[in-house]
Structure 1
Amino acid sequence: MNGTRRRRSYVAAAAAGASLALVLTACSSDDDGGGGGDDASSSTDCAAFEQYGDLEGKSISVYTSIVDPESVQQTDSYIPFEECTGATIEYEGSREFEAQLPVRLQAGNPPDIAYIPQPGFLASIVADYPDVVVAAPQAVIDNANEYYTEGWVNYGTVDGTLYATPLGANVKSFVWYSPAAFEENGYEIPTTWDDLLALTDTIAADFPDAKPWCAGIESGDATGWPATDWLEDVLLRTAGPEVYDQWVTHEIPFNDPQVLTALEAVGGILKNADYVNGGLGDVQSIATAPWNESANGIPDQTCFLHRAANFYQANWDEGLTVAEDGDVYAFYLPGESADDKPLLGGGEFVTAFADRPEVQAFQAYLSSPEWANAKAAATGQGWLSANSGLDPELLQSPIDKLSFDLLTDDSYTFRFDGSDQMPGAVGADAFWKQMTAWIAEDQSDAETLDNIEAAWPASS
């Protein structure tokens, strides 16, 4: 199972009925609309679905790593498409998705559509099964060019051909904190990396019995992935996006001196006994602290800062308010200057293995604003899209709204999670394990990077 799916922990919808009501309200109208579904609900405006034609009696199979409870939110978002076209979506979520998808492709039993959570995995699928994966149809290409930035389109493109469009998205360049603690102590949100380090020093001096930072990288079989995010985020800041791209594609070695500089900067925080690990223990405790519980000390002020993605909001106690004036919130992890705005994130990609009209229609729907809005309405919080046609008013969480603003702001330079683009032997194995050893065993920076470089497949 890949790191992206393991690392995502979304809040389930409060009730399936409430989610469905939101979906239908989002596209309600007094018009009967068009479309092929004879029994389409009168509360659903089917005008936007006329382009897909009459698909009555047709079915589309979807295979994904998105399982319960998130799968309920997915299937709720398909209801308008099913009602207006007459098609049926057959959804299958599996925790063994990445292992089983190649098996199914090899056996000649592909799904119609799969949600692939790693651009690197997509590229390998295209390379290994060129006669099975299907290039995106024109309707999907048009949606991609209209509603997504060039960067997002490129992540679904292999050798110049668009195969996949983004499904969901997330932003990882965040630092969680307590607005009340900041106000009480007169702390200001840092706008540069140096400001962040100065704030860290101030907190360490003000609270000698606590620690500025808390962190945890334990995540079962995927232990270590949060540390990879740290290195990726810092490398974007110390070396810039062009070097980051070269590193991800192995144009420069994993242990390049510029990567070593970034890891040293990460260690300046995570391996500094004066800075970590508030409420949890010493530096080594980071390796055993569950990532989804590691920020629990922020409301109690045993720690004050925690670097984690927008989806970390799902892990806060239900009694806490996530808002700029609430109990917990997050600020953008600053760059080296206020004008330097790299942004790390991730997501999944819709990929087709059949070119039947109903499959192409559903793939187009999943790349449209109509689907993005239906999904946002069905989810409640903890999900967003990089689709510029998404109505931000449907995002019910302040941190989701902030994430959407950053994703659609051209002044930020977005880069996809590096480990998710690397070969599996590196990004989902050696990188995780060696970063864990870097913390747990105090393995040196150089040895850590050398070991990961040695794991890079010779053919990649």
Structure 2
Amino acid sequence: MMRGSSWLLAVVLLLLPACTTPPERSTITVLASWTGQEAEQFQVVLDAFTERTGIRVDYQGTRALEQVLLADVQKGAPPDVAIVPSPAELQRYVDADVLRPLGSAARPTFWDQVQGLGTGVRRAVVVKADLKSIVWYRSDLEQPQFRTWQEMHSRRADWCLGMGAPPLTGWPGTDWIEDLMLQRYGKADYEQWATGEMPWTDDRVRSSWQAWGELVAASTAADGPAAALLTDFGDAGSGMFEQPQQRCSLDHAGSFVKSIYQAPQPGAPPREAGRHFDFFPFPPFAEQPERQPSIVSGDLAVLFGDSAPAREFLDFLDGDGQRLWVGQPGSGVYSIDVGPEGYAARPGGEIDSRIAEEIRREDGRLCFDASDLMPAVMRNAFHRGVLEYIAAPERLREILEQLEAVHRTTGEPWARFACG
């Protein structure tokens, strides 16, 4: 009897390691646009998720995100999770009925509209956001104060201009036209235009292009418009820091450019937000009684694969993942769910806190980037129109008529919202 018990015990002990070994970890696929330093910072988030859950993440980063994702969906092999750069891209896949809903919106805020495309059904998680309606300057050289656009424009500043942004070259110019449209004509007119209810030949649209054209002509008088067409948007602002003489003094660029300014440069001293550069809000037009809302943009995580690991990953991105991402000292990411205090560890954290405050406003003073709300064919035509206008401003009427022809024939739905 004793020998039988010993044999049974030996068998149990032999099998015990196999019974207690964790099952093989799952793997999910994630597609986004981040490469280089951005991908390295995002990888910290992915590694933390794997360490917490045991779920591996196979990440692919590509600047040609829209083309790669569309091809994957068309061949029936989308990633489990994709992070798309605009509500228009989100709308494309909602219309194709290939996304999994994420529940109902918690409360009717501006960012809930973004995540649900204005429908009340949550379709995405905003994993990062940016503030667009700002102007950067060298704070160690000057403290510009402009009450209106007219004051700023009359100064005849040398603007840092660069339209290059492959594969979406031209979008920096659309940011200008959007801000001019909003600050000159207000929230209601901006929303009408951004949602496809205003023709491109409207006088309000035309005057916004003309205002930008005057600025470009003044800022490129020395080098000609080719300089703006051939300069990458990320390199344009470096002209503010050239020594002994600045090549340009003001840069209209989103909050994401702060990390570009602070990136180490060979042979150059380090730059820090607050000490070496700062920003001010894009000023209103004199005819507006007060400054209009700020324009923002955002990257949205969407769910293609309805698996428990993929949903767990989205839950992580919707909470601790964002806090970890924002809290990295070298991060240039802003979150709709992290308050100003969450940026304290970053160089230039006071600047980040001001940006975060504006992004998180809930008083009806936010509008989404208009081109990011437009159907892809309209958005691409807008980008091309900007480049054509810089090269030949006398063709503005023809360019706007061409854009209106695209507008009338898109055949794709437009966004249901723009401002909140």
* 1:374 aligned partner: 324
What is the aligned counterpart of 1:157 among 116, 119, 123? 116
8 Å contact 2:132–2:255 — kept in the other structure?
Answer: yes
* 2:213 aligned partner: 267
Q: Give 3-state SS (helix, strand or coil) of 2:373's partner.
A: coil
8 Å contact 1:218–1:288 — kept in the other structure?
Answer: yes
What is the aligned counterpart of 2:372 among 407, 420, 442? 420
Distance (whole Å) between structure 1 residues aligned to residue 149 and residue 231 of structure 2: 26
Structure 1: which 5+ residue stretches go unaligned? 1-37, 40-53, 205-210
Q: Which letter maps to 1:424?
A: A
- 1:409-446 Cα offsets, whole Å, 9 max, x none, are 3457222221121111121x211111111111223332
Equivalences for residues 195-214 of structure 1 within 5 A: 195-198=151-154, 200=155, 204=156, 211-214=157-160
* 1:385 aligned partner: 335
Cα distance change on mapping 1:291 and 1:342 into 2, 3 Å: same
* 1:441 aligned partner: 392
Distance (whole Å) between structure 1 residues aligned to residue 23 and residue 134 of structure 2: 43
* 1:14 aligned partner: none
8 Å contact 1:156–1:165 — kept in the other structure?
Answer: yes
Equivalences for residues 115-154 of structure 1 within 5 A: 115-128=83-96, 130=97, 132-137=98-103, 141-142=105-106, 145=107, 150-154=109-113
Larger radius of gyration: 2
- 1:213-252 Cα offsets, whole Å, 9 max, x none, are 2322133443321111100111111122222222122111
Distance (whole Å) between structure 2 residues aligned to residue 392 and residue 440 of structure 1: 41
Deviation at 1:407, TM superposition (A): 0.9
Q: Give 3-state SS (helix, strand or coil) of 1:294's partner.
A: helix
Q: Give 3-state SS (helix, strand or coil) of 2:377's partner.
A: helix
Number of equivalences? 379
Cα distance change on mapping 1:458 and 1:115 into 2, 3 Å: closer
Cα distance change on mapping 1:79 and 1:389 into 2, 3 Å: farther
8 Å contact 1:116–1:349 — kept in the other structure?
Answer: yes
Q: Give 3-state SS (helix, strand or coil) of 2:280's partner.
A: strand
Q: Which moved more, 1:168-177 or 1:328-337?
A: 328-337
Matched, 1:295 2:230: no
Distance (whole Å) between structure 1 residues aligned to residue 65 and residue 170 of structure 2: 21
Deviation at 1:288, TM superposition (A): 2.7
Deviation at 1:254, TM superposition (A): 2.3
- 1:161-209 Cα offsets, whole Å, 9 max, x none, are 21101011111212121223325xxxx42233233234x2xxx4xxxxx
Distance (whole Å) between structure 2 residues aligned to residue 334 and residue 212 of structure 1: 17
Q: Which letter maps to 1:133?
A: L
Equivalences for residues 56-135 of structure 1 within 5 A: 57-128=25-96, 130=97, 132-135=98-101
Cα distance change on mapping 1:322 and 1:334 into 2, 3 Å: farther
* 2:278 aligned partner: 329
Distance (whole Å) between structure 1 residues aligned to residue 399 and residue 58 of structure 2: 44
Could you say what the CA RMSD is over the residues aligned between the two structures, in angstroms?
2.7
Deviation at 1:133, TM superposition (A): 0.8
* 1:245 aligned partner: 191
Q: Give 3-state SS (helix, strand or coil) of 1:212's partner.
A: coil
Deviation at 1:395, TM superposition (A): 4.0
Distance (whole Å) between structure 2 residues aligned to residue 242 and residue 55 of structure 1: 56
Q: Which letter maps to 1:313?
A: K
Distance (whole Å) between structure 2 residues aligned to residue 256 and residue 55 of structure 1: 62
Distance (whole Å) between structure 2 residues aligned to residue 407 and residue 78 of structure 1: 25
8 Å contact 2:129–2:333 — kept in the other structure?
Answer: yes
8 Å contact 1:55–1:358 — kept in the other structure?
Answer: no
Q: Which moved more, 1:168-177 or 1:189-198?
A: 189-198
Q: Which letter maps to 2:326?
A: A
Q: Which letter maps to 2:102?
A: A
Deviation at 1:263, TM superposition (A): 1.6
Q: Which moved more, 1:109-118 or 1:355-364?
A: 355-364
- 1:68-126 Cα offsets, whole Å, 9 max, x none, are 33222112113333222222222222333211222222322221111011111110111
Q: Which letter maps to 1:193?
A: W
Distance (whole Å) between structure 2 residues aligned to residue 320 and residue 283 of structure 1: 31
Distance (whole Å) between structure 1 residues aligned to residue 65 and residue 362 of structure 2: 34
User: TM-score normalised to the size of structure 2?
Assistant: 0.81
Distance (whole Å) between structure 2 residues aligned to residue 286 and residue 56 of structure 1: 53
Deviation at 1:294, TM superposition (A): 2.1
User: TM-score normalised to the size of structure 1?
Assistant: 0.75
Structure 2: which 5+ residue stretches go unaligned? 1-19, 413-420
Q: Give 3-state SS (helix, strand or coil) of 1:91's partner.
A: strand
Q: Give 3-state SS (helix, strand or coil) of 2:335's partner.
A: coil
Distance (whole Å) between structure 1 residues aligned to residue 247 and residue 30 of structure 2: 45
Distance (whole Å) between structure 2 residues aligned to residue 359 and residue 249 of structure 1: 32
* 1:194 aligned partner: 150
Q: Which letter maps to 1:236?
A: L
8 Å contact 2:132–2:294 — kept in the other structure?
Answer: yes
Distance (whole Å) between structure 2 residues aligned to residue 233 and residue 410 of structure 1: 20
Q: Which letter maps to 2:112?
A: V
Cα distance change on mapping 1:263 and 1:295 into 2, 3 Å: same
8 Å contact 2:26–2:55 — kept in the other structure?
Answer: yes
